[in-house]
Amino acid sequence: MIELRDVSFEYDARPVLRQVSANLAEHRIGLVGANGSGKSTLARLCHGLLLPTAGQVLVNGHDTRRDAAAARSQVGFVFQDPDIQIIMPTVAEDLAFSLRPSGLSKQEISAQVDDWLGRYDLVSHRDHPAHLLSGGQKQLLAIAAVLITQPQIVIFDEPTTLLDLRNKHRIMAVIAALDQQVVMVSHDLDLLSEFDRILVVDAGQIIADDSPRAALDVYRRAALG
């Protein structure tokens, strides 16, 4: 569970988020809002990538400021652009990179890598350069590299924005099958309509926190006038 307590965030004295409070406990939670509304900032605060200027963010009870390592160990983060998330030159090496801090032996890491390559149909790309994968395969690799560390919560920042329809559906199916709690920033209202709860962010504040139907109605009215 992620708990936001009066969270504010400023960048260069410009308020990005203002006194946001919420308890995020549902299985799948969506964050929606206009460009620059503060939703990606909110997602980064939930992970601990950003620290609040005021207030507290607790991940399963761990403060992202005071207990950063414990908080971050519970949360995985998937970026919009997988090209920035993939660190190692080849597919298998990138998955193995995620397990470096785990203390597992080389054989154990290799076995886990093979397992995850199989889950996402990447076995035939095991030793391929990551930059030669398709957009959908890159995003699958980025997701697998996060999930292989078995986080309890996974935050997605617009994971389908750069994908074509086929790959978008593939990624959506992967996300739908996750047992972990999912917090997702997205502009894809179809995708969010199947979530348990939606928070609508506007000008640094949560203007709606409701079921998808009610919250997305608020978003449409705010966006379209």
Partner 1 sequence: MLTLYTPGNSLLHRCPAAAKLITLCLAATLIMILTDPIVLASGILVVAVGYGMARIPGRTMWRLSRTALVIVMVVAACQAFFTSVSPAIIVGLRILFLITAANLVTLTTRTADLITVVEAAARPLTRWGVHPDRIGVTVALAIRFIPVLGEQACRVREAQAARGVKAPFTLLVPLVIRTLRLADGVGEALEVRGLGSSARAGASTTEHRSMTR
What does the binding site for partner 1 look like in residue numbers (CB under 8 A)?
A: 9, 11, 16, 36, 40-41, 44, 47-51, 53, 65, 68-69, 72, 76-77, 79, 81, 83-90, 93, 96-98, 100-101, 126-127, 129-131, 145-146, 149
* Smallest gap from residue 123 Cβ to partner 1 (A): 13
| Closer Cβ to partner 1, 47 or 197, answer by number | 47
What the block records as the tokens of 36 is 């620059």
- 34 touches 55 (CB < 8 A): no
Query: How many Cβ atoms are within 10 Å of 27's Cβ, its own excluded?
Result: 12
Q: Rounded to whole angstroms, how far apart are CA atoms 102 and 94?
A: 14
Shortest Cβ 159–partner 1 spacing (Å): 14
Give the separation between CA 153 and CA 164, rounded to whole angstroms.
26
CB of 169 to partner 1, least distance (A): 25
CB 134 within 8 A of CB 86: no
Alpha-carbon span 17 to 202, nearest angstrom: 9
Closer by beta carbon to partner 1, 55 or else 213: 55
Tell me whether residue 99 or residue 210 sits nearer to partner 1 (CB atom): 99
Q: How far is the CB of 124 from partner 1 (least distance, A)?
A: 11
Q: Which is nearer to partner 1, 128 or 169 (CB)?
A: 128
CB of 16 to partner 1, least distance (A): 5
Q: Which is nearer to partner 1, 1 or 88 (CB)?
A: 88
